[in-house]
Amino acid sequence: MEWSLKWRQNGWRNAAGSPVANKPLIEYILTLLETRQRSGQPVKIEYVKGHSGNVGNDGADALAVAGCDLPEEPERDWVKLKRTYKIEKDAMHSIMGADLEVGSASSSLCRAAVILILNAGFHFERRGTP
């Protein structure tokens, strides 16, 4: 994800000097990927040439084409989703005292409990080291 470091250093401008398209969405995805990396799950993003017989890429292309036939959805508030994710992650850390493995049954149950607690109006302070 070296490209994301370069974008950040350049004030979210690409190599051509233009603003990076879809910045809020990219920041949200980077937040999820960075959390996964910090939990010990390596993340590797690599270029795959389209329409080259790669099964995963061809499947993604088929889903994208099928999605074009669906009704248009309103754009999500990626900044709000990123903020909500960070609040939930900090609350889970506060409750458990350590990061849970992303996607584990424990993290799913803890996340559900955190959402219920946050919706009830409680707030958390982070304890321990991040």
Whether 126 maps to a domain, the answer reads: no
Structure tokens, 64 = 């994208």
State which residues form the domain around 71: 2-119
Q: Which residues, at least 6 apart from 36, have a Cβ–Cβ distance to it below 8 Å?
A: 43, 102
* Distance (Å, whole) CA 119 – CA 101: 23
pLDDT tens-place string over residues 17-63: 999 999 999 998 888 888 888 878 888 888 888 888 999 889 988 99
pLDDT of residue 20: 92
For the whole model, what pTM was predicted? Answer: 0.60
* Distance (Å, whole) CA 59 – CA 53: 10
pLDDT of residue 126: 44
* Distance (Å, whole) CA 77 – CA 75: 7
More confident residue, 9 or 105: 9
> Is residue 9 scored above 80 in pLDDT?
yes
* Distance (Å, whole) CA 97 – CA 130: 9
Whether 130 maps to a domain, the answer reads: no
| Number of domains comprising the chain | 1
Whether 124 maps to a domain, the answer reads: no
Mean pLDDT of all residues in 67-81:
89
pLDDT of residue 103: 54
Inter-axis angle of helices 23-38 and 2-9, nearest 10: 130
Whether 85 maps to a domain, the answer reads: yes
The DSSP 8-state label assigned to residue 100 in this structure reads P
pLDDT tens-place string over residues 81-127: 888 888 777 776 666 655 555 455 555 666 666 565 555 555 444 44
CA distance to 30, 45, 53, 87, 101, per residue, from 16 (Å): 21, 22, 31, 35, 38
